[in-house]
Amino acid sequence: MAAFRASDASRAPGTAGAAGTIVVRGLTRRFGPTVAVRPLAFELGPGGVTGLLGPNGSGKSTLLRMLLGLVPPDAGTASVDGVPLRGDGTAVRRRCPYLPGEVAVYGEMSGRAHLAWFLRGRERESRASAIGIATELGLPLERRVRGYSHGMKRLLLLAAALAPRARVRVLDEPTEGLDPSRRGQILGLLAREAKNGTTILLSSHHLGEVERVCDRVLFLRRGELLDEEQSRRLRRRAGRVVRVAWADPIDPAAAAGSLATRGAEDVRIEGGRATFVLPAGDPRRALAEILSARDLPAPTSLVYGEFSLHELYRALYGEEGV
């Protein structure tokens, strides 16, 4: 991955955002009667990794595709790396490499030829860079792509998305289908990129990796972006999430009632385990009362106050999309 040169900072006059930023103002998209993305507004960068989270169908991919001009928005404006989104977005895609969420490739091509195909329309050096990344990732570039596993195809797409010099990259589920070691390798690459000043917007279902690599998280639900304050409240709320396990299954109704009378919120009980949120006022006291309650058995394990995007996800969306 080569960093963008400072000399590339030429800008079209009158563009909305600065170099290395993503600026979205009121982007909206409908598919028939369904509103896929409601009017959205946010600014990212310059620099840093932003994670886009949301359950399936929440509009993540549509939003990313709109930013790249692959899906024309019904309303609103956007600019990427200082270039306003216009027409079919060719100017934006020239400045911002994109990793598609769908892993689809031309099986009849070799890995090397495919990289060259992906990088058509970009500077020539990016091909050498892509071959370097692909080799580092252990891809057999002389083999036809039809013989690649799902994860290898994803890595090939990633090599093409990470190779061009760019200040902004948009990656739709970059580690989907990769084994844990490869996932770690890719996250390391992204973290290094961000450290060098690149703005990365990625969507993911791997909540752990979002926690690990992202310094900002955007939550989408039914095409709507939760505002930062709501997001902060939810993060704080996630800090009060308690998970308790008992040795034997308990009566769910009785246990839920007992927990609720002691201030527990959003109680969910499955078998011998319960997840709930402590009240905001005095969570420690509520926890002490719950642990000493005579109508509940003594727990065998308890997890409290551990920040977890997974729990945040559940608090936001319930079981949906987890």
Partner 1 sequence: MRRHLGSLPIQVLAYFTLLELMLVAAILYWPNFRDNIDSLRALSGPIPALQDMLTQLEETGVVGYITGQHFFKGCNTLGCAAAVLFAVGAVAGEVHRGTLEIWLARPISRGRLLTERWVAGALALGLPIFASTATIPLLADRVDEVVDLAPMFLCAVHEWIFLLAIYSLSFLLSAVGSHPTKIALLVLFLSTFEFAIYMVKVWTQSSLFRLADIQDFVDIESARRLDWAILAPLLACIAVLYAAALFAFRRRVP
Give residues in contact with partner 1 (CB under 8 A): 31, 65, 68, 70-72, 87-88, 90, 93-94, 98, 100-102, 104-106, 108-109, 113, 117-122, 157
Q: Smaller CB distance to partner 1: residue 69 or 283?
A: 69
CB of 18 to partner 1, least distance (A): 21
Question: Which class for 129: exposed (0-12), middle (13-18), buried (19 or more C-beta within 10 A)?
Answer: buried
CB of 144 to partner 1, least distance (A): 12
Rounded to whole angstroms, the Cα distance separating 94 from 123 reads 10
CB of 98 to partner 1, least distance (A): 5
Tokens of 96: 């911002």
CB of 188 to partner 1, least distance (A): 24
CB of 11 to partner 1, least distance (A): 17
Q: Smaller CB distance to partner 1: residue 66 or 217?
A: 66
Q: Around 78, how many Cα atoms within 13 Å sit in the side-chain half-sphere?
A: 30
Does residue 158 contact residue 136 with C-beta atoms inside 8 Å? no
CB atoms within 10 A of CB 315: 19
Q: Smaller CB distance to partner 1: residue 94 or 222?
A: 94
CB of 201 to partner 1, least distance (A): 15
Residue matched to tokens 């490739």: 105
- Positions of E strands within the chain: 22-31, 34-44, 48-53, 75-80, 83-84, 98-99, 168-172, 199-203, 216-221, 224-225, 241-245, 265-270, 273-277, 301-304
Q: Smaller CB distance to partner 1: residue 170 or 286?
A: 170
The amino acid at residue 76 is: G
3-state helix, strand, coil in the chain (%, to 5): 35, 25, 40
CB of 179 to partner 1, least distance (A): 23
Q: Smaller CB distance to partner 1: residue 65 or 112?
A: 65
DSSP, collapsed to helix, strand or coil, labels residue 57 as coil
Q: Smaller CB distance to partner 1: residue 36 or 287?
A: 36
Q: Smaller CB distance to partner 1: residue 153 or 206?
A: 153
Does residue 62 contact residue 71 with C-beta atoms inside 8 Å? yes
